[in-house]
């Protein structure tokens, strides 16, 4: 479940997305955030200028043992989850933060809310983490 916690930590720096029922501007903001999470170069640039993002990125690297491919895969998955979280909360940043706090307190509840495909992907991703990261 440490992998799940890692998602919450680094997703929190991307919660500047604001939406209602995801109007056009909100959809664009979500797409930009997802693109940032998916694109290693854009991520590096964003991390340089943001202390929270630096901390989150360091945590991801510690979870993945510095394996860039696994880190990228983790960010890809986070981008997908970001879309789901944004839509589920209507893009309200306050609600998104509340949900993330809830999920950090109970990662299993978070995992149970994922689609079967996402649960499978999360398990596969967790199996790629070095044993020393405390994965379950």
pLDDT of residue 8: 55
Q: Can you tell me the distance from the alpha carbon of 16 to that of 103, in angstroms, rounded to the nearest whole number?
A: 19
pLDDT of residue 10: 54
Residue 107: Cβ-neighbour burial (10 angstroms; 0-12, 13-18, 19+): middle
pLDDT of residue 39: 94
Residues 6+ apart with CB under 8 A from 87: 22
pLDDT of residue 17: 37
Structural contact between residues 57 and 47, judged by C-beta atoms closer than 8 angstroms: yes
Tens digit of pLDDT at every position of the chain (136 positions):
555 555 555 555 454 334 345 677 778 888 888 998 999 999 999 889 888 888 889 988 988 999 999 999 999 998 998 888 888 888 888 888 898 888 888 888 888 888 899 999 999 998 888 876 444 4
Residues 6+ apart with CB under 8 A from 32: none
The reported pTM is: 0.77
pLDDT of residue 135: 45
The interaxial angle of helices 40-48 and 24-38, nearest 10 deg, is 100
Query: Where are the domains positioned within the chain?
Result: 2-14+22-129
């Amino acid at each position: 479940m440490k992998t799940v916690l890692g998602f919450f930590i680094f997703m929190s720096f991307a919660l500047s997305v604001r939406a209602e029922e995801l109007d056009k501007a909100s959809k664009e903001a979500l797409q930009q955030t997802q693109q940032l999470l998916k694109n290693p170069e854009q991520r590096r640039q964003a991390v340089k200028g943001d202390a929270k993002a630096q901390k989150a990125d360091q945590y991801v690297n510690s979870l993945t043992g510095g394996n860039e491919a696994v880190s990228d895969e983790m960010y890809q998955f986070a981008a997908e989850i970001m879309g789901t979280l944004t839509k589920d909360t209507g893009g309200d940043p306050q609600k998104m933060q509340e949900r993330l706090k809830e999920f950090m307190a109970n990662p299993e509840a978070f995992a149970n809310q994922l689609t079967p495909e996402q649960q499978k992907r999360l398990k596969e991703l967790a199996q790629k983490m070095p044993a020393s990261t405390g994965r379950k």
